[in-house]
Amino acid sequence: MTSRLPKLIAFDLDYTLWDFWIDTHVYPPLKRDPTSGKVIDNQRKPQTIDFYRDVPQILHRLQSAGVMIAACSRTDAPPLAREALNLILVPPRAGDNDNDNDNTSAKPIPAIKFFDQLEIYPSSKIRHFKKLHEKTGIDYDEMLFFDDEWRNQEVEELGVTFTLVPNGLNDRILEKGLRDWRKRRPAQVDDDAV
C-alpha cells in the first residue's frame, strides 16, 4: 500500500529549489547553451542556473504520483524566475528508457511544465496560499510547503504543513515533510471499510 500524499505540494524557489536569489544574484538575459543544455546568466563570469541535485527526480516522482505542484516565491523578479523555469531542462526520469526498442531517448522537459500553479510575485506566503486555494479548491490541510525561510511558517495559520529547507531541497527533506504532513493528518478510514 502506498502512503497517502498531499493533494498539493508547493516549493519556494530561492535557496529551496536553486542556490541563489534570482532577483539579486542572477543577471538577465538568461540563455541555454545549445550543446550542453546548461542555462547561464549574463555576468562576465556567468552563473549556471540549475536546481539542487535531487530536485529533478523529486519533480518526476510527485508528478507521476498525481500531486499538484506549485511554486510560491516572493521574488522581486517574477519574469526572470519564470524565464529560468522555462529554460532549465529536467532530464528524463531515471529508467524511462529501459523498454525503448527504437533507440530514441526520452527528451529533457522544461522545468516549468512540472508546475501546475505559479504564485511568483512579492507578497506574503499567506496571500500565495489563499490564491492557490481559490484557484484549485484544495483544502489547506491537503497542502505541504517547503521553504528556506522560517518566517514563512506563517502558512500554518491556514492549515498548510510547513517544512523548513535549511540547505536546499533533497530527498531527506522531502521525506521529512511528508512524514510531518501525515502525522498531522492520520489516515481516514471509510465507514464501509472492512
Classified as helix, coil or strand, 57 is helix
169 torsion bin: left (phi>0), alpha (psi -120 to 50), beta (else): beta
Find where cell 492549515 sits: 159
Catalytic annotation, pick one of 14, 50, 147, 148? 14
Q: How many Cβ atoms sit within 10 Å of the Cβ of residue 1?
A: 4
Q: Tell me whether strands 143-147 and 117-120 are parallel, antiparallel or unpaired.
A: unpaired
Which whole-number Å values give the CA distances from 82 to 12, 90, 124, 188, in the listed order? 13, 15, 19, 38
23 is catalytic: no
Closest listed residue to residue 77, CA positions, set 24, 115, 41: 24
14 is catalytic: yes
Which whole-number Å values give the CA distances from 33 to 22, 49, 106, 118, 132, in the listed order? 19, 11, 19, 26, 34
Q: For the chain, count helices (H), then strands (E).
A: 4, 10
- Give catalytic residue positions: 12, 14
